[in-house]
Structure 1
């Protein structure tokens, strides 16, 4: 695999870590591509001992982790999150954004995702707490994520 151009800034993977089921996969891909990883959360997580991987523990204030990620996102960043509003902020900063199942948020999809989120929030509010969660995370989701992250890293390397 060719190394990145010497003038290109390294890619940084920013992980919205609190509910991220693919952290181990992110570490492996980052190592393969020489990327930096920032694991951002409100409480400490175990991270590998690596010069590439840094744990960022922010205050437990509302949206503190999201704010940190959005402030550090740029065109050389890949943000891993399922948070639609954080994804929107990061896309505006020029970052690439992937969900844990490998689906990408992009300029074409974020508007409808934000609108759908608002509709679902209204529907849940009217259901008096009777609601289901997302479907279980599957092996196919994990595989799709790995393929998507690999594809994004190859694109950013060019």
Structure 2
């Protein structure tokens, strides 16, 4: 299930304070398995029901970086979009994402340095309206001057 803005690029010349973009992603068992395979993070809290049941989460959870990857998807595909270069990211994990959850991931422009093409973005992920991740990203936005 996806509920997203169109993909593409918003150049630094067109970025405005307060702009937001988002996506929604239903996290499946397959997503978690594929992330474990690609990342090589096979922590059983993500993959083993019996093991995970005996943890503080009382069940399996998605990798935190899978959730953070949804922020990366919004930045790389929507705002600023294609051609964006990550410069830094802070993350604070506030709650688990479980198989079957739908994550809402949003970025909001909170700072712009046109001369350097730097954009600062507040980052947020929620599940059922509850914050599961917050942070801030700093990126180098694409420019029409370099097309």
TM class, shorter-chain normalised? under 0.3
Structure possessing the higher relative contact order (Cα contacts under 8 Å, 6 or more residues apart): 2
**TM-score, length basis structure 1:** 0.22
Q: What is the TM-score when the length of structure 2 is the normalising length?
A: 0.23
The structure that is strand-richer by fraction is 2
- Judging by fraction of residues, say which structure has more helix: 1
